[in-house]
Structure 1
Amino acid sequence: MTPRTAADLMRRTAVPEVPGAWPLLGHIVPMLRRPLEFLPATAEFGRVVQVRFGRMPVYVVTHPEAVRELLVPGDIDFTRGRIFEKLVPALGNGIATVSGAEHRRQRRLLQPVFTRERLTAYASIMREAAEEATASWQDGQRLAVDDVMNDLALTALTRSLFKFTASSDTAEAIKDGMQQLTNGLLLRTVLPTSWERIPSPGNIRFRRAMARMHRAIDDVISTYRTAGEDRGDVLSALLAVRDTDGTGLSDEEIHAQVMTLALTGIEAPGAALGWVMYEIGRNPEVAVRVHDEIDTVLDGRPPHFDDLPDLSYLGRVIDEVLRLRTPLVFMRRALSAVRIGEVTIPAGAEIVYSPYLMHHDARWFHDPLRFDPDRWLPQNARHIPKGAYIPFAAGAYQCIGKMFATMELAIVTAVLGARWALRPVPGVTVRELATALVRPSQLPMTVHRRSDDLRSGRK
Structure 2
Amino acid sequence: MFGKRGEGGRGPANFDQGGGAPPRAAGGVPVFGHVGELRRDPLGFLRSLPAQGDVVEVGLGPVKAFVVCEPGLVRELLLDDRTFDKGGRFYEKGRQVVGDGLATCTHDRHRRQRRLLQPVFHPGRLPGYARVMTEQAQVVAGSWSDGLVIDVDAQMRKLATATVVRTLFTPHAGVAAETLTAVTHDLLRGLDWRLRNPVRALERLPTPANRRFRRAKEQMRKAVEQAVAAYRRLGADEGDALWVLLQGSGDEGLDAGEIHDQVLTLLIGATETTTDTLAWALYLLARHPGLQQRLHEECVAVTGGERPPWFEDLPQLGFAEQFLTETQRLHPAVWVVTRRARRSAILGPYALPQGATIIFSPYLVHTRADLYPRPEVFDPGRWADRPVRPSVDGTYLPFGAGPRKCIGDRFAMTEMTLALAQIAQQWTLEPLDQAPVQPRARVALTPHGLRLRVRSRT
Q: Structure 2 length normalisation: TM-score?
A: 0.91
Partner amino acid for 2:275?
G
What secondary structure sits across from 1:57 in the alignment? strand
User: Displacement of 1:305 after TM fit?
Assistant: 1.9
Structure 1: 5+ residue stretches without partners: 452-459
CA deviations on 1:69-112 (whole Å, 9 max, x unpaired) are 100122x2121011212211221111111122421111111111
Are residue 412 (structure 1) and residue 419 (structure 2) matched? yes
User: Displacement of 1:425 after TM fit?
Assistant: 1.4
**1:180 corresponds to which of 151, 175, 189:** 189
The alignment of Structure 1 onto Structure 2 pairs a total of residues equal to: 445
* Structure 1 counterpart of 2:319: 313
Task: Map 1:71-150 to 2 at 5 A.
Answer: 71-74=78-81, 76-82=82-88, 83-150=90-157
**1:167 corresponds to which of 162, 167, 176:** 176
Residues 178, 157 of structure 1: alpha-carbon distance in 2 compared, 3 angstrom cutoff:
farther
Residues 307, 394 of structure 1: alpha-carbon distance in 2 compared, 3 angstrom cutoff:
same
Partner amino acid for 2:295?
V
Residues 224, 379 of structure 1: alpha-carbon distance in 2 compared, 3 angstrom cutoff:
closer
Partner amino acid for 2:192?
N
What secondary structure sits across from 2:433 in the alignment? coil
The answer as to whether partners of 2:162 and 2:177 remain within 8 angstroms in 1 is: no
Are residue 48 (structure 1) and residue 55 (structure 2) matched? yes
User: Displacement of 1:173 after TM fit?
Assistant: 4.4
Deviating more after overlay: 218-227 vs 399-408:
218-227
What secondary structure sits across from 1:70 in the alignment? helix
User: Displacement of 1:315 after TM fit?
Assistant: 0.4
The answer as to whether partners of 1:173 and 1:213 remain within 8 angstroms in 2 is: no
User: Displacement of 1:29 after TM fit?
Assistant: 2.4
Structure 2: 5+ residue stretches without partners: 8-12
The answer as to whether partners of 2:187 and 2:213 remain within 8 angstroms in 1 is: no
What secondary structure sits across from 1:127 in the alignment? helix
- Aligned sequence identity (%): 36
* Structure 1 counterpart of 2:10: none
* Structure 1 counterpart of 2:365: 358
Partner amino acid for 2:328?
L
Residues 443, 173 of structure 1: alpha-carbon distance in 2 compared, 3 angstrom cutoff:
closer
Partner amino acid for 2:443?
A
What secondary structure sits across from 1:120 in the alignment? helix
Q: Structure 1 length normalisation: TM-score?
A: 0.91
Partner amino acid for 2:184?
K
**1:336 corresponds to which of 335, 343, 353:** 343
* Structure 1 counterpart of 2:254: 249
User: Displacement of 1:135 after TM fit?
Assistant: 2.2
How well do the aligned residues superpose, as a CA RMSD in angstroms? Answer: 2.3
What secondary structure sits across from 1:436 in the alignment? coil
Are residue 15 (structure 1) and residue 22 (structure 2) matched? yes
* Structure 2 counterpart of 1:25: 32
The answer as to whether partners of 1:170 and 1:213 remain within 8 angstroms in 2 is: no
Residues 312, 380 of structure 1: alpha-carbon distance in 2 compared, 3 angstrom cutoff:
closer
The answer as to whether partners of 1:12 and 1:344 remain within 8 angstroms in 2 is: yes
* Structure 2 counterpart of 1:3: 5
What secondary structure sits across from 2:309 in the alignment? coil
Alpha-carbon distance in 2 for matches of 1:31, 1:218: 40
User: Displacement of 1:242 after TM fit?
Assistant: 5.8
Deviating more after overlay: 391-400 vs 130-139:
130-139
Residues 86, 159 of structure 1: alpha-carbon distance in 2 compared, 3 angstrom cutoff:
same
Partner amino acid for 1:241?
G
CA deviations on 1:250-271 (whole Å, 9 max, x unpaired) are 2211111110011111121111
Alpha-carbon distance in 2 for matches of 1:379, 1:303: 24
User: Displacement of 1:331 after TM fit?
Assistant: 0.9
Residues 7, 281 of structure 1: alpha-carbon distance in 2 compared, 3 angstrom cutoff:
closer
Residues 152, 381 of structure 1: alpha-carbon distance in 2 compared, 3 angstrom cutoff:
closer
Alpha-carbon distance in 2 for matches of 1:151, 1:286: 25
What secondary structure sits across from 2:49 in the alignment? helix
Alpha-carbon distance in 2 for matches of 1:7, 1:135: 59
The answer as to whether partners of 1:120 and 1:304 remain within 8 angstroms in 2 is: no
